[in-house]
Amino acid sequence: MSVQTWTYLIVGLSFALYIGIAFASRVGSTREFYIAGGHVHPVANGMATAADWMSAASFISMAGLISFMGYDGAVYLMGWTGGYVLLALLLAPYLRKFGKFTVPDFVGDRYASDTARLVAVLCALFVSFTYVAGQMRGVGIVFSRFLEVDISTGVAVGMGIVFLYAVLGGMKGITYTQVAQYCVLIFAYMVPAIFISLMLTGQAIPQLGFGGTLADGSGSYLLDKLDGLNQQLGFAAYTDGSKATLDVFCITLALMVGTAGLPHVIVRFFTVPRVRDARRSAGWALLFIAILYTTAPAVASFARLNMIETINGPDGQGTLYEDAPSWIPNWEKTGLIIWEDKNADGRMFYARDERNEMTIDRDIMVLANPEIARLPAWVIALVAAGGLAAALSTAAGLLLVISSAISHDLLKKVLMPRISERQELWAARGAAALAVGVAGLLGIYPPGFVAQVVAFAFGLAAASFFPALLLGIFDKRTNAVGAVTGMLAGLGFTTAYIVYFKFIAPQANLPEHWLLGISPEGIGVVGMLINFVLAIGVSRLGKPPPAEVQAMVESIRIPRGASSAPADARY
């Protein structure tokens, strides 16, 4: 069967599974819609969390970034995995013990302020819509190539699938759908990685193949060969970094604290039965995530080596376009590969300098990797299903955050406190439907490539939510005015910096023009520091929070077994 037939079959079966789970998990209460009733097993929750968090950026774009950036791309690996350590130690168990539905719910009650709640809703919407743009873009890329439809049509199909299981099942349907999606995406990621590792290095374990010798009898190491090829073509050595140390530190830290501040990740820890299960869920999630993240550098190096040798030919003189493998014209149809025959010799050539004739979108590397390596058609189709699973799982989690922020935190808690549970549930479903439409538009007209857009979302979360949550748990002196001032300042500064360098003056997006040499991807750290300084300073200058709020903060941190724990935060 052809790749397209296999894709229709495998993707169709996976979509049928997701929709079946959604129908089987239909909800009838707001508690089930928002937090799956609070009865999800830690292992299942860890798997769902991994799928929720390993988005299109992780599956589609991260290895592509590493493939093009080499050593510099390691900041994404370190930042995105390190964030779970912070989340497990500093936030997850305490937020679960608080016993609320959403992050704005915690902020509003902890700071005893509807203003703080509204600002948290604003931050949640801002971060979630930024993040979901990358997911829908990933959906469009997969559909445009493997089902041979334009990106807009692909995004529309993805919107329809997410709408069904997010609106019908809420968090309950999303959770069990994400368990299935994790199984699909990890299988889809590992199978081609194992195949290609065996072909290139003779090692069945990609992590060992990444540091091993090539199977061509030369005795040379894979990374040594990549270093040599890169330098011959005008690129920096693959294993050398070019970013400034401060920028690497800031990007890594922004991704770490951004992970710990992402509302769609945090809400997953409200779904487990007990406080200790929140920590266990974080541990399981980190294990499930590590399977993919330790494989990504190997996938990146395999893809880059095969891509260079395929385009430039075994002799390094370029490949005749008429002899190009099928993956090149196939991806050209999507506009994500462009060949310009500059010297009119009919040969393709890939390099960094004036010899270059190829424009290659980094988001295609994982999806094109099986085609470049000439793997069977069913493997290529499997990767397409995995990419869709990764993008749709995260999109669903983000849409639920948007829905709950509008229906629960805005309507129920502020504007219409007397609405019934049934009315709130319908409002949540309506908000989810509206959010799906906006997400689709952002996927069709994205503000950047997938991983870059996601990195911006992490920076915004780091600058807005993380300080408010951390201070809310560990500093009972922080008051509502301080928290609101900090969140608005951190979010405003970070947004302005990103918008200026990415959209207003992209020509100035160079290290010499950045503040202290910190790139837009890492500026969330500065926004976070501004947030902390203002939140603490303004709080110390103002009145302390009410005594009951301070007592509540103390109770959140009381060890297991204390009688003052909230009634619904069962041990």
Query: Do 537 and 451 share a structural domain?
Result: yes
Is a pLDDT exceeding 70 seen at residue 317?
yes
Instruction: List phi, psi (to 5°) of 133.
Output: -60, -40
Kindly state whether residues 108 and 253 are assigned to the same domain: yes
Q: What does DSSP assign to residue 213?
A: B
Question: Taking Cα atoms as reference points, which of 454, 448, 461 lies closest to residue 494?
Answer: 461
Look at residue 446 and tell me if it is in a domain: yes
What pLDDT does residue 453 have? 62
In the predicted structure, residue 399 carries a pLDDT above the cut 60: yes
Do 360 and 429 share a domain, yes or no?
A: no
Domain count within the chain: 2
Question: Domain check: are 101 and 225 in the same one?
Answer: yes
Domain span at 332: 306-365
Domain end, chosen from 365, 387, 409, is at 365
In terms of Cβ atoms closer than 10 Å to its own Cβ (0-12, 13-18, 19+), residue 488 is: middle
**Residues 335, 470 within the same domain:** no
Which residues, other chains included, contact 321 with Cβ-Cβ below 8 Å and sequence gap of 6+? 339, 341, 346, 347, 348
Residue 561 domain flag: no
**Does 195 share its domain with 155?**
yes
- 379 shares its domain with 322: no
Residue carrying the six token digits 């439907």? 433
Confirm whether 120 is domain-assigned: yes
Residue 512's CB: how many other CB atoms inside 10 A?
6
Q: What is the pLDDT of residues 220-243, one digit of tens each?
A: 899 999 999 899 888 888 888 788
Residues in Cβ contact with 191 at an 8 Å cutoff, skipping those fewer than 6 apart: 379, 382
Residue 221 DSSP SS3: strand
**pLDDT tens-digit profile of 505-541?**
888 888 888 998 898 888 999 999 999 999 999 999 9
CA angle 282, 284, 289 (to 5 degrees): 90
What is the signed CA dihedral for 193, 196, 198, 199, rounded to 10 degrees?
Answer: 180
- Based on the domain organization, do 428 and 507 belong to the same domain? yes
Pair (456, 444) in one structural domain: yes
The three-point CA angle 330-195-201 to 5° equals 115
**CATH number for the domain including 298?**
1.20.1730.10
297 and 317 assigned to the same domain: no
Q: pTM of this prediction?
A: 0.79
138-165 tens-digit pLDDT:
777 777 777 677 777 777 877 777 777 6
